[in-house]
Amino acid sequence: MCLINFNIGSHQKYKMVLAANRDEFYSRPTASMHYWDDHQNILGGRDLKAKGTWLAVSKSGKIGALTNIRTPEEMTMEAKKSRGELVVNYLLSKDNPEDYLKNLAASSSDYAGFNLLAGNPDELYYMNNYDNNVSRIDDGTHGLSNEYLDTPWPKVVIGKAKLDEVLSEEDVDVDALFNLLRIDSQAADDIVQKTGVDFDLEKKLSPLFIDIPDFDYGTRCSTVVLVDHQDNITLIERTFKNGVETGEISETISVNK
């Protein structure tokens, strides 16, 4: 994922609402959201090259998602383990989210830079492998792109504000969540995020929704996650190619505690 805007504990109907975009090279083989044949407890999209995922849930109610940390060094780094396995390993583990992340800290340098969210319907934890601090995320609206949690990149600021607008209504309009994920206006020059890559590329990467044909890169899917107070977890995924929607899938897990 390259953008995850989410809210915990602010809506009367939902414990958690998450709206996320996965940005990736168009040529990277990917499977849309499904229950995996080799791990039928897991529901999510899948990177078919490294067999990991950017966002998925388990039938037991575990929720995991990650974004990469972007620097020129990180973008060219090779010979590291796939970051997508971090979510898979959490979903398959018997650890609670806090323990999983604390145990991960010892080997986090085996991976290129990452931000990782791990939780369940009642709590969500965060860590990155630059400082390895593990923290439970407070109630409220948060945003995560390719730096640290709540770093005020333009897409994070816009996404959080739009998410608050959607959540101000009595019910949650799923289309409105997907609409905020389709915002493709680039940030003004003076507020474009600075990660050390070429400025023209930085600007093209600044919208919530990305399509950069000459770079073979863009938003591959948008995912909405809704967790209600009965611990039903609904995932809705819309897929894209070159900025054009190619499909939608919806699944709901009823968590048995």
Please tell me the predicted confidence (pLDDT) of residue 70: 86
Domains identified in the chain and CATH numbers: 3-247 (3.60.60.10)
Q: Give the helix/strand (H/E) hosting 66.
A: strand 63-68
Task: Judge contact between 60 and 43, C-beta under 8 A.
Answer: no
One-letter amino acid for residue 139 of the chain: D
Residues of the chain with pLDDT under 70: 1, 72-79, 257
Q: For residue 254, give every residue at least 6 positions away whose Cβ sits within 8 Å of its Cβ, in sequence order, or none.
A: 230, 231, 232
Round to whole Å and give the CA distance between 178 and 19.
7
What are the angstrom distances between the C-alpha of 92 and each of 101, 121, 173?
Answer: 14, 17, 32
Task: Work out the angle between the directed axes of helices 154-167 and 174-181 (0-180°, nearest 10).
Answer: 170
Task: Work out the angle between the directed axes of helices 84-92 and 97-104 (0-180°, nearest 10).
Answer: 130
pTM: 0.95
Q: What secondary structure letter does DSSP report for 209?
A: S
Please tell me the predicted confidence (pLDDT) of residue 78: 63
- What are the pLDDT digits (tens) for 112-139? 999 999 999 999 999 999 999 999 999 9
Find the angle CA(38)-CA(33)-CA(78) to the nearest 5 degrees. 75
Task: Judge contact between 40 and 46, C-beta under 8 A.
Answer: no
Round to whole Å and give the CA distance between 204 and 100.
35
Decide: helix, strand or coil at residue 84.
helix
Q: Is 96 exposed, middle or buried (CB count within 10 Å of its CB: 0-12, 13-18, 19+)?
A: middle
CA distance between the termini of the chain = 28
Please tell me the predicted confidence (pLDDT) of residue 228: 97
